[in-house]
Amino acid sequence: QVQLQESGPGLVKPSQTLSLTCTVSGGSISSGGYYWSWIRQHPGKGLEWIGYIYYSGSTYYNPSLKSRVTISVDTSKNQFSLKLSSVTAADTAVYYCARATNPDWFDPWGQGTLVTVSS
Amino acid sequence: QSVLTQPPSASGTPGQRVTISCSGSSSNIGSNYVYWYQQLPGTAPKLLIYRNNQRPSGVPDRFSGSKSGTSASLAISGLRSEDEADYYCAAWDDSLSVVVFGGGTKLTVL
């Protein structure tokens, strides 16, 4: 079955760019039919959808984050990535990658990675 | 403040039936499918219900979803201690053009 795993720095300084990668195993991003997504969860709070990318490179971002977000895909490595620029403490969260269908539902999810924004 | 409204907490005793509500509007629940996720302590969310009332394989039939108008509900029957978790509803919002989530309901099994 498909599994996803996030990786990247756990600590980012304010004003810098947060960069995370999601590695997909057990299935190919290139096979199509799914949207590869990023979702975050602020500590002790609810979920916020960040955006997604299709294997072709088409992207869609949450309008509230659009100016700072870039999602890219590397089909040769079966990975997709998130970059969030000009981060502040408000971007401290657990970041999840997930496979989306339609693309309004997410299954499966990665285990998540905590990113703390602090100097 | 979340676009979809859930009660912050719910509780029940083993064997009981509990329901968790999710209230939205015509631009989300009223016109799109509702999804439910279960987040066990310290883990990632897991899809529990899709397209209002469908269960992925492996999800016990103790879990059921329903939708009426601009509201949805998750019902858990035969409550078990391992059901203690946070539960989130979600739906696409046509006005915001994003997936929106509820604030989550913490279920405690007494």
| Nearest-neighbour CA in chain B from A74: distance (Å) | 24
pLDDT of A102: 82
Is the dihedral angle over the CA atoms B50, B102, A47, B64 positive or is it negative? negative
Mean per-residue pLDDT for A37-44? 94
What proportions of chain A, in percent to the nearest 5, are helix, strand and coil?
5, 55, 40
Higher pLDDT, A11 or B1: A11
Considering only the beta carbons, identify the residue of A46, A63, A112 that sits closest to B88.
A46
Mean per-residue pLDDT of chain B:
96
CB of A44 within 8 A of CB of A27? no
Interface of chain A against chain B, CB under 8 Å? 45-49, 62-64, 96, 104-112
Mean per-residue pLDDT for A49-65? 94
d(CA A78, CA A108): 16
Higher pLDDT, A32 or A15: A15
Q: Reply yes or no on whether the pLDDT at B1 is more than 90.
A: no
| Nearest-neighbour CA in chain B from A111: distance (Å) | 5
pLDDT tens sequence across B17-45: 999 999 999 999 999 999 999 999 999 99
Which residues from B are below 8 Å from A46, CB to CB?
2, 88, 101-104
pLDDT tens sequence across A76-118: 999 999 999 999 999 999 999 999 988 889 999 999 999 999 9
d(CA A50, CA A63): 9
pLDDT band for position A3 (cuts 50, 70, 90): very high
Q: Reply yes or no on whether the pLDDT at B76 is more than 90.
A: yes
CB of B60 within 8 A of CB of B46? no
Joined together, the tokens standing for residue B32 give 């799109």
